[in-house]
Structure 1
Amino acid sequence: MRRFQHYACFDWSGQAVARPKGLALATIAAAPGAQPVLVRPPGGWSRAAALEWLLDLARAGTDILIGLDLSPTFPFIDADGYFPGWDHSPGDARELWALVDRLCSGDDHLAASSFVQHAEARRYFRHGKDDTGDRFGSLGTGRLRAVEHHQRKTRQANSASCFNLVGAAQVGKSSLTGMRVLNRLAGRIPIWPFDPVPQNGPVIVEIYTSIAARAAGIAGGRSKVRDAAGLHQALAALDTAAPAPLAAHDDHSTDAIITAAWLRHAARDPELWQTFWHPAALDDTIRRTEGWTFGVK
């Protein structure tokens, strides 16, 4: 399986503002001794700027693997559809991205508030303690994708349902905003595993930062790194040099840095790298409708 000259991680956010605090990007070159770099434009990232950064990579043909910390789809396999009972339920991932982007076309900042407020779509989400859609499902945790069931069964991670919009662990809005960005890439960057991996140029994968954190020796992958010493220790476990001093060690920045370093570190292990790209449980139906979290074996 191909290696890349550069690796990157975008820690993502569904916050419906111009510059979400949770958006962070780190990159690292594959060259020996390379330091991770926290990329921060003046004023912080917007989702529109993140999209433009990705499009710049496509135009330049940059040889880079980009991890996005979000779910690119909703569950499909468990109910033979993303939104069973809704006539407009899409048939595959790209149709889903187009639907989300279309219903949210009036939302500023590539936000996705309109989707979870839509008369039909909102029925599938848990919006609050006493506000659960009638099609949310019987599971208290909410429906899960095949890879999320696999993560839990094998104890590789403990992903939350994208249909749950309640609590600190909710990832639904973040994933919806990500779907809008994926739709607007319009096929200009291959997105694994929905697209074949080309011999050159950029590729996007879904990542889960807790998997990278666990590989870096952070207990259970749950603890957050909030100081230079903790960050340097995690990077040392990934055979990665420390970055230039950071202005602040917030969760989003350190997650992005550690995960970019993890992608680079994993690429150095041929057997592990091959397994990441070819997980045994990934079949053609999952590949077309739900995708897979990179690094889940």
Structure 2
Amino acid sequence: MNYNNEKFIKEFKDIMLKIKAQKVLFVCSGEYDRYGYRKALDEIKIKSVAFTSFEPCPEVSSVQKGIEAFKSNACDFVVAVGGGSAIDTAKGIKYYSKLDFKILAVPTTAGTGAEVTRFSVLYNNKDKASVSDWDIIPDYQIFDYTTLKSLPYEQKVATSLDAFCHSVEAYWSIDANDESRQYSKKALSLFNNNFVKYLENDEKTFEPMLECSMLAGKAINLARTTAPHAFSYKLHKLKGFYHGRAVAVSLAYIWKYMANSGDKLKSLVNETTEITGFDYAGFIDFLKDLGLLEDLTMTKAEFEETIHGVNTARLQNFPMKLTDKDIENIYSSFILVK
């Protein structure tokens, strides 16, 4: 596929020539140079070695392999081209190696915002083991929106919803401030104005959807995610849902629970409707129309693992205290136990 991304390749070359990297660890997925960035390094005589040995949900063990590749090849710079997995792997390499090098990120999905956050979402034997450090935020970003052209429909849906949820959760967070809420509002405006056409692969929506993702990333970088992300991980692990789907479904029913919890959160619930264009019922219908509320069944054992698997540390910045019974009630509102 021809991506017609010459202006972004030029921007990339200009940055790489300016920083004078000697050898680059090129973190990317299997089809590693479909967008031409490694070829661009060859053209400007900068050596590189590809690192592709990581999972869609990157394991810490894979990050360690990346550190070995970085060191054994005497690299001094990292370029990550891909979605959150590639960028989080690059950030994990910097975090665990404790080496002082810079990262350039080229996000190829519109959703995670990983290119602007201090978080690296990692796993240890499929259990979440994320890290956070302001020093691992990528130093350079190239927003090559042409890369979204080949993104499959299901990934467009899931990653976009991740950005939507980042925006809402950051707005809900007790750590929210004026700056983070401005990022949330702008991201949600871009989502509302472009999402439908984006799913139709309208190229005019690619740039604003990447901006939506980036702004949502900036929002959570300041305010962090809240309960919906905490609720989502077992849905992702046990049901195999895309991360964005798992978070969006969780958010919908947590939103409903908030709306039915009396007057304390009434103002926040009303503001959520104002900035998203949905009330909770409308958002549930929206997810239903996208086919995302199907297969919400679990065995009793899976349900028990799910309700006891919520990371309560992730609930500390949520605006209402959720008891164990609250957690069970929320899950019971959308999961059928068989």
TM-score (norm 2): 0.22
- Considering fraction of residues, name the structure with more helix: 2
Higher relative contact order (CA 8 A, sep 6+): 1
* Greater gyration radius: 2
